[in-house]
Amino acid sequence: MEEMRLTAYESSKLYKEKVKKYNDKTLLKKDFQLGQQVLLFNSRLKLFPGKLKSKWYEPFTIKKVRQYVAVELCDPQSKDPDRTWVVNGQRLKQYHGGAMERLNTVLRLDPG
């Protein structure tokens, strides 16, 4: 019985290593620099799907690049230039310029 358990454990370990190698190959390496403009993926849009709505939200400026793909962003159109937040770099893509239409969705939940 002990031998079967050890064999299953080893098999599981090998499988996990293979899956990790495959997933690491599919991830894109993104290099961000200070002052670069990026678009932020709008994950909340999945709740209210629309064919013509952009899933990428306005250009933000990178204020600081941290370890482990964490990026500190600031909104250049904001009234408070010190207002920043940290996001995962996998949710960002490079902004190449051009006009962006800002999407505002308002939901009103009327009681009764």
Which domains does the chain show, CATH number per domain? 37-94 (2.30.30)
The rounded distance, in Å, linking the Cα atoms of 20 and 11 is 14
Q: What is the mean pLDDT of residues 2-17?
A: 94
pLDDT tens-digit map of 59-102 = 888 898 888 778 999 887 777 767 888 988 888 888 887 665 55
| Contact predicate 92/71, CB 8 Å | yes
Strands 84-88 and 56-65: unpaired
Angle at 82 between CA 95 and CA 72, to 5 degrees: 45
Please indicate whether residue 15 or residue 80 has the higher confidence score (pLDDT). 15
User: CB 28: neighbour CB atoms within 10 A?
Assistant: 7
Position 46 scores a pLDDT of 59
Tell me the per-residue pLDDT of 16-67, one tens digit each, with 9 for 90 and over: 999 999 988 887 777 888 888 998 887 765 555 666 677 787 888 889 888 8
